[in-house]
Amino acid sequence: MKGLAALGGSLALGRHAGAVAPVTDPTLAKFIHGLPKSEYHVHLEGTLEAEMKFALAKRNGMNLPFADVAAMKASYQYHDLPSFLAIYYDGMKVLQKEPDFYDLAYAYLAKAASQNVIYAEMFFDPQEHLKRGVTMADVIGGITRARRDAESKLGIRSQLILCFVRDLSAESAMATLDAALPFKADLVGVGLDSDEAGNPPEKFREHFAKARANGLKVTAHCDVDQTDTLKNIRTVLTDLKVDRIDHGGNIVQSTELVAIAKERGIYFTVCPTFSGTLRRTEKMPVDVVRAMLDAGLKVTISSDDPAYMGSEYIDGVLIRAVDRSRLSKAELIAMTRYGFEAAWLPEADKAAMIARLDAYVKSA
Residue nearest to Zn ion (CB): 304
Contacts of 103 (CB under 8 A, 6+ apart): 52, 55, 56, 142, 146
Min dist. Cβ of residue 196 to ligand ADE (A): 7
- Is 325 in contact with 20 (CB distance < 8 Å)? no
Element (H, E) at 248: none
In the chain, which ranges are continuous DSSP H helix?
A: 26-34, 50-59, 69-74, 81-91, 98-114, 126-130, 136-154, 170-180, 205-213, 229-234, 255-263, 288-294, 314-325, 329-341, 347-363
By rule CB under 6 A, what string of x and - marks binding of each residue 282-321 to ligand ADE? ----------------------xx----------------
Please, what's the b/e burial string for 305-341 (b: 16 or more CB within 10 A of its CB; e: otherwise)?
A: bbbbbbbbbbbbbbbbbbbbbebeeebbbebbbbbbb
Min dist. Cβ of residue 187 to Zn ion (A): 17
7 near ligand ADE, rule: CB under 6 A: yes
46 near ligand ADE, rule: CB under 6 A: yes
Min dist. Cβ of residue 248 to ligand ADE (A): 12
- Is 341 in contact with 354 (CB distance < 8 Å)? yes
Q: Is 43 annotated as a binding residue?
A: yes
Q: Is 178 annotated as a binding residue?
A: no
223 near ligand ADE, rule: CB under 6 A: yes
Q: Is 41 annotated as a binding residue?
A: yes
Cβ closest to ligand ADE, residue 151 vs residue 167: 167
Min dist. Cβ of residue 165 to Zn ion (A): 12
Binding site for Zn ion (CB under 5 A): 304
List the binding residues for Zn(2+): 41, 43, 221, 304
Binding site for ligand ADE (CB under 6 A): 7-8, 43, 46, 88, 193-194, 221, 223, 304-305
List the binding residues for substrate: 305
